[in-house]
């Protein structure tokens, strides 16, 4: 994949476009010229944080960029998974291709080479109390200097050894390059992009499970009419989707209203869709804003605040809360499916009530997942503490909000799998259902066959959970 000024897609071998290399060199020369004016430049000719007022002489400046990546590497395991580390490097590469970065073409090429050869720094995923992401970024990029640790098939290996095995010499930082590697919030961006994608998929899957519940319980359809959405486009979209999936099914005799968990699910889905769309807008805006501090803009170095990713963190907190609510609705809805008073089917969806337990144990699994999910609803972005002798007195903790969002998604995938299996079993026991859902039921049964007598479902449910992120096309 050729990398140009217009961007690139990750996942293939990356090659820098020659005109882009020339442009990077031009920008770098402009930045170096501006540094020679003698005006103080934060983190380059001065210290950082509380020590920003300390001027550095020429010798100290030469050492300072390297020291920035060493002294701040105070984290430890657990480490980020390799896929997230690669994503972090990709976001950093995209940052460096912007006109305001001013880093050298050599640093960009070194980063591209490490993406191409599978170089995976050991990056801590917790214990990060800085105003931005300097701790994880120090761990990530000191490895370019042959310092610190990388992961090779999950095993910790000295970075110098990993570079040597690739035939690469440790990188020698130029002016400002250490500071640039530390700035911004690329980890928050990674979490926002991946958390948003998981939430979008879960909203689609939870729309499907809601349609299955409407089908199995024979719920009256009037409450799901799009006319009830008013001016809420997200709610209208959900209601239209449900109408397409389950709108033409029969209503169970004697049912005036479906359980509340079935009736209000569209509003929960609409809210989740709305806050997730806001998260998407936020991380896409981040790609348009200088993240370095200082950034090189119009020939001058301008201090920035791209390390304060509160707008990403607070939105990730909001999406997490929305997913928790979807989990609560889903677990309640699953319980209704197991209850013969609501379904008209055998108790606990078993073929032999009493001797066989049916799917009640599966609901207990979902309840355990919900218990873990609820504990993630407390906002991670809030809770600033003074650091750097008061110079840095606010933290965003957006990375922590991202960790919580993605953990929440994993629990909701498990809850969703439990409900899908329950709905599939219920429809099998009830025979005919809505034609539009037939393919979905068959897909679930291809992974978790119907339960004609009790069996251990753990491994089958695990396989279904693993398939859910890529399900529905």
| 3-class SS string, the chain | CEEECCECCCCCCCEECHHHHHHHHHHHHHHHHHHCCCCCCCCCCECCHHHCCCECCHHHHHHHHHHHHHHCCCCCCCECCHHHHHHHHHHHHHHHCCCCCCCCHHHHHHHHHHHHCCCCECCECCCCCCCCCHHHHHHHHHHHHCCCEEEECCEEEEHHHHHHHCCCCCCCCCCCHHHHHHCCCHHHHHHHHHHHHHHHHHHHHHHHHHHHHHHHHCCCCHHHCHHHHCCCHHHHHHHHHHHHHHCCCCCCCCCCCCCHHHHCHHHHHHHHHHHHHHHHHHHHHHCCCCCCCCEEECCEEECCCCCCCHHHHHHHHHHHHHHHHHHHHHHHHHHHHHCHHHHCCCHHHCCCECCECCCHHHHHHHHHHHHHHHCCCCCCCCCCCCEHHHCECCCCCHHHHHHHHHHHHHHHHHHHHHHHHHHHHHHHHHCCCCHHHHHHHHHHHHHCCCCCCCCCCHHHHHHHHHHHHHCCC
pLDDT grade for 293, boundaries at 50, 70 and 90: confident
Structure-token pair, residue 151: 């992961």
Give mean pLDDT, residues 308-336. 96
Give mean pLDDT, residues 87-106. 93
Average pLDDT over the chain, rounded to whole? 91
User: What pLDDT score does 19 carry?
Assistant: 94
Q: Does residue 1 surpass a pLDDT of 70?
A: no
User: What pLDDT score does 5 carry?
Assistant: 55
Please indicate whether residue 408 or residue 431 has the higher confidence score (pLDDT).
Answer: 408
User: What pLDDT score does 9 carry?
Assistant: 57
194 CB burial (10 A radius; 0-12, 13-18, 19+): middle
Q: How many CA atoms lie within 13 A of 305 on its CB side?
A: 8
pLDDT grade for 446, boundaries at 50, 70 and 90: very high
Structure-token pair, residue 366: 């979902």
Contact between residue 331 and residue 363 where contact means Cβ atoms under 8 Å apart: yes
41 CB neighbour count, 10 Å cutoff: 21
Give mean pLDDT, residues 74-103. 93
User: What pLDDT score does 423 carry?
Assistant: 97
pLDDT grade for 453, boundaries at 50, 70 and 90: very high
Could you give the CA distance from residue 82 to residue 60 in angstroms, rounded to a whole number?
35
The dihedral built from the CA positions of residue 185, 191, 194 and 199, taken in this order, carries a sign that is negative
Please indicate whether residue 103 or residue 127 has the higher confidence score (pLDDT).
Answer: 103
């Amino acid at each position: 994949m050729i990398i140009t000024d217009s961007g690139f897609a990750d996942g293939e071998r990356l090659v820098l476009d020659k005109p882009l290399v020339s442009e990077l060199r031009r920008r770098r020369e402009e930045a170096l010229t501006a540094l020679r004016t003698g005006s103080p430049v934060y983190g380059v000719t001065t210290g950082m944080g509380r020590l920003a007022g300390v001027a550095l002489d020429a010798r100290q400046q030469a050492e300072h960029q390297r020291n920035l990546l060493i002294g701040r590497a105070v984290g430890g395991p657990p480490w980020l998974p390799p896929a997230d580390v690669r994503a972090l490097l990709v976001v950093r590469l995209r940052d460096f291709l912007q006109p305001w970065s001013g880093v050298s073409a050599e640093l960009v090429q070194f980063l591209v080479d490490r993406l191409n050869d599978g170089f995976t720094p050991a990056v801590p995923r917790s214990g990060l109390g800085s105003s931005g992401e300097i701790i994880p970024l120090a761990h990530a990029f000191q490895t370019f200097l042959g310092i610190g640790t990388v992961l090779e098939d999950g095993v910790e290996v000295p970075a110098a050894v990993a570079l040597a095995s690739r035939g690469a010499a440790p990188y020698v930082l130029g002016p400002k390059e250490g500071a640039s590697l530390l700035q911004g919030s690329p980890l928050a961006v990674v979490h926002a992009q991946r958390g948003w994608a998981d939430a979008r998929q879960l909203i689609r899957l939870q729309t499907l499970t809601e349609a299955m519940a409407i089908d199995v319980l024979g719920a009256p359809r009037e409450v799901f009419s799009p006319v009830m959405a008013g001016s809420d486009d997200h709610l209208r979209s959900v209601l239209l989707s449900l109408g397409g999936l389950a709108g033409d099914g029969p209503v169970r005799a004697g049912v005036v209203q479906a359980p509340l968990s079935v009736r209000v699910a569209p509003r929960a889905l609409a809210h989740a869709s709305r806050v997730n769309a806001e998260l998407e807008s936020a991380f896409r805006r981040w790609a348009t804003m200088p993240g370095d501090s200082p950034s090189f803009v119009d020939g001058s170095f301008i201090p920035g605040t791209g390390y304060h990713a509160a707008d990403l963190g607070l939105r990730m907190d909001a999406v997490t809360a929305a997913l928790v609510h979807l989990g609560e609705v889903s677990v309640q809805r699953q319980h209704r499916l197991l209850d013969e008073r609501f379904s008209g089917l055998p108790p606990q969806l078993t073929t032999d009530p009493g001797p066989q337990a049916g799917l009640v144990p599966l609901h207990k699994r979902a309840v355990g997942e919900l218990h873990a999910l609820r504990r993630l609803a407390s906002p991670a972005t809030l809770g600033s503490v003074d650091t750097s002798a008061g110079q840095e007195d606010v933290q965003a903790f957006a990375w922590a909000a991202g960790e919580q969002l993605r953990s929440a998604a994993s629990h909701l995938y498990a809850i969703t799998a439990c409900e899908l299996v329950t709905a599939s079993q219920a429809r099998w026991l009830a025979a005919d259902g809505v034609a539009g859902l037939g393919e979905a039921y068959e897909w679930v049964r291809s992974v978790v066959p119907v339960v004609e007598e009790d069996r251990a479902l753990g491994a089958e449910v695990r396989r279904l959970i693993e398939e859910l992120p890529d399900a529905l096309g």
